[in-house]
Amino acid sequence: MRRFLVGVGVLVLAGLAGFWGLSRPSPAAPEDLAALSALTPDAQAGAAVFWAGGCASCHAADGADGDARLVLSGGQRFPSDFGVFRAPNISPDPVHGLGGWSLAAFANAMRHGISPEGQFYYPAFPYTAYRLMTDQDLVDLWAFLGTLPAAAVPSKAHEIGFPFSIRRTVGVWNRLYLNDDFVVTGDLGAEANRGRYLSEALAHCAECHTPRDALGGLDRSAWMGGAPVIGGQGQVPSLTPSQLRWSQGDIAAYLNDGFTPSFDTAGGHMVSVIENFAMLPEADRLAVAAYLLALPEMQN
Amino acid sequence: MKSRILFTAAVSVALVAVGATATAQSDVPYPVQARQGQFTLMQLNIGVMVGMIRGQADYDAARAQAAADNLVALSTLDQSFHWPEGTDNASISGTRALPAIWENIPDVISKWNDFGTAAVALADVAGDGLDAMRGGIGPVGASCSACHDAYRASP
């Protein structure tokens, strides 16, 4: 009996050690950070990265409009199966926002989902996509964020239940779901390649348009195949060519003015997404459209 | 202006009836077909102006004004007869109208009135040039989305 108990104890310890090892944060390598700091930041170019990345859609205050979308005080609620996530303050406020951060801290957040304190962020923050961002876009975005107004508003706490309230669980999740490659592979041609980068690395379209598995990871075999609305009712539409059936011009125009080919209007979160896309050059909207038209159909 | 609105409204009603007849083979109840025709008419007229904004058609002040006036006319249509109880998407198929509509009638009417307000503002500027018209379209689209977000099921 005693040997059995010791055996169980050893197994539990081994399990805990395994969890601890598997869930260990793996921050950016020193040489990667050195490569970033060697670049010359361009805040103006960062504005385009900011709009393409959709930062304002989640980090602006609830209902913010016009220039208020540049005040990234956070607070929006994102209900999910795991609880309610609250977007934090990412304005340049030194106390409540990113004012005291280094470029290295920003890179660790954007690429590894790790806070300056070494804590994991929840993947409601799409670092899973942003990690595919180029070095230059990352430093440009960081420079642009620094030009925005500071908001002295404390970030709200997430409302997440056990066991997901243990942030180390995200470390294991990251091992399962962090990828370093695009989902749609191969050379799609210059225009669709640009669209792939905009969609998969920056605009993170798949976060809503792709179904998730039980652990909340994206099902890459059903990429952009449509999904239930997270924390709401109804269905986010599929974007694959056979389902969407819009032309390249239709898609690009919709991303600019919000009208479908039959002049119905965009709704829900897409309204905010279109406000972002409308800030980009027409070539980028056409590129996203070209990428969507190159999407593979769902495998089943 | 008043008689013009009434005339346009009459034409709109006639068009709704035509639209409904065209799809009468479906099993969707007649009042539902009528309101779907109403929304199709709204889309058609918005589309006339959006097509000009997109550069797919040249800006034409008279056509823009007519389309905007049609939206105003549509916004004045009495809604009493094409929203009977029991025609929500939980009760019948072929509609995306959420049951919440019938649980929040004052808010639905308020949102419909917002569309009317935006349509009137658009009609005031639609004939004044492309930029003026473009400025008036946004609030109309926003009024559509506000109601869809609350009361229309996703496809």
Highest mean pLDDT: which range of A17-26, A140-149, A267-276? A140-149
pLDDT higher than threshold 60 for residue B13: no
Whether A234 and chain B come into contact, CB under 8 Å, resolves to yes
Provide, as residue numbers in chain A, all residues whose Cβ is less than 8 Å from the Cβ of B149. 267-268
The pLDDT of residue B24: 45
How would you classify the pairing of strands A83-86 and A159-160?
antiparallel
Q: How many CB atoms lie within 10 A of CB B97?
A: 21
Residue B115 has pLDDT above 90, yes or no: yes
Contact A267 B149 (CB under 8 A): yes
Express each pLDDT in A123-150 by its tens digit. Answer: 999 999 999 999 999 999 999 999 999 9
Q: Is pLDDT above 50 for A180?
A: yes
Contact at 8 Å (CB) between A78 and A86? yes
| Counts of helices then strands in chain B (DSSP H, E) | 6, 0
Q: What is the mean pLDDT of chain A?
A: 93
By C-alpha distance, the chain A residue nearest B154 is: A234
Instruction: Return the closest-CA partner of residue A112 out of A131, A98, A94.
Output: A131
How many Cα atoms sit within 13 Å of B136 on the Cβ side? 27
Determine the pLDDT at residue B19: 47
Q: What is the mean pLDDT of residues A38-67?
A: 96
User: Cβ of A257 and B50 within 8 Å?
Assistant: yes
Rounded Cα–Cα distance for residues A200 and A153 (Å): 31
> Is the torsion defined by CA of A212, A210, A121, A125 positive or negative?
negative
Minimum distance, in Å, between the CA of residue B11 and any CA atom of chain A: 21
**How many CA atoms does the CB half-sphere of A35 hold within 13 Å?**
11
Q: How does residue B5 score in pLDDT terms, banded at 50, 70 and 90?
A: low
**Residue numbers in A near B153 (CB within 8 A):** 233-234
Specify which residues A212 forms β-bridges with: A218
> Could you give the CA distance from residue A235 to residue A13 in angstroms, rounded to a whole number?
43
CB of A63 less than 8 A from some CB of B:
no
Mean pLDDT along residues A236-252: 96
Instruction: State the complex-level ipTM.
Output: 0.80
Tokens of A291: 């990428």
Which positions ≥6 away from A207 have C-beta within 8 Å?
A126, A129, A218
pLDDT tens track for B24-40: 446 899 999 999 999 99
In whole angstroms, what is the distance from residue A263 CA to residue A272 CA?
A: 18
Q: How crowded is the C-beta side of A45, counted as CA atoms within 13 Å?
A: 10
Number of H helices, E strands in chain A: 14, 5
Measuring CA to CA, which residue among B124, B101, B119, B110 is closest to residue B32?
Answer: B101
Q: Which residue has the tokens 């409308």?
A: A278
Query: Looking at residue A110, what is its pLDDT?
Result: 98
DSSP assignment letter at A197: I
